[in-house]
Amino acid sequence: MKLLVVEDEVARAEALSEILKRNKYVVDTVYDGEDGLAYGLTDIYDCIILDIMLPKMNGIDVLKTLRKRHISTPVLLLTAKSDTEDKINGLDSGADDYLTKPFVSGELLARVRSLTRRKGEVVTDEFTFGDIALNKSTFSLSREGQFVKLSLKEYQIMELLIANPKQLIPKERFIEKIWGYESDVEYNNVEVYISFLRKKLSAIGSSVIIKTARGIGYYLEGGDAS
Ligand code: CA
């Protein structure tokens, strides 16, 4: 899952991003409201963590503009203790939740989990499709007691496929979600990881197949568990 952190206090932004990355989120961090808006408008994030007091454009205006432009990404506002008015204003402007600074990492993670769950994605430790299970804490792919470890990129690609079963996912989407919006990764990097994943699927004897839609992208098929 991909998150955007918009926070101008660099140390806090880095700490936030570190906590989230350790919990297997892919994180982009920006330090002012204008960048926050530009990144948010790409609509590639599963949740945006947005500070209110920001240079160039404040968080409330970023949020209002996103909602006006029909971006429905869940937004978690960061507020200072005293900003009761900001909280009300924020929720009125379309924020989904807020967190008062300072906060502990457990609280942040719980809010993010709840917001991304609301969006309808699977938030268990395990994703399943057909005869396979993908485990989020161990980065492993399994079928009937046979396990294979995945690298971080392999895991992220598999997660995207399995969270959108039988849907065609364009190559650009993998690049945006996994390598980042401004990444100059070549399309054939995705192909290389897909070929690793195919080998691993066959190593555990799965009948799940990563299908190629030539020139477009990939989707999961087969492996009916019944
Ligand atoms: Ca701030």
Alpha carbons 11 and 13: distance in angstroms, whole number: 5
How is the chain split into domains, by residue range?
A: 2-116, 126-222
The CATH fold of domain 2-116: Rossmann fold (3.40.50)
Residue 125 has pLDDT above 80, yes or no: no
Q: The whole model's pTM is what?
A: 0.59
pLDDT at 1: 87
Task: Give me ligand 1 centre to Cα 113, in Å.
Answer: 23
pLDDT at 149: 92
Task: Give me ligand 1 centre to Cα 9, in Å.
Answer: 6
Task: Give me ligand 1 centre to Cα 59, in Å.
Answer: 9
65-97 pLDDT per residue, tens: 999 998 889 999 998 766 677 777 788 888 888
Task: Give me ligand 1 centre to Cα 83, in Å.
Answer: 12
Cα 198 to the center of its chain, rounded Å: 23
pLDDT at 88: 77
Own/partner pairs for 118-127, CB < 8 Å, 24+ apart? 118/74, 119/46, 119/47, 119/74, 121/1, 121/46, 121/163, 122/163, 127/159, 127/162, 127/163
Task: Give me ligand 1 centre to Cα 165, in Å.
Answer: 39
Percent of the chain surpassing pLDDT 90: 57
Assigned CATH for 126-222: 1.10.10.10
Q: Where are the beta strands (DSSP E) in 32-129?
A: 47-51, 75-79, 97-100, 126-129
Q: Give whole-number Cα distances, 205 to 96, 128, 147, 208, in Å.
A: 43, 15, 10, 9
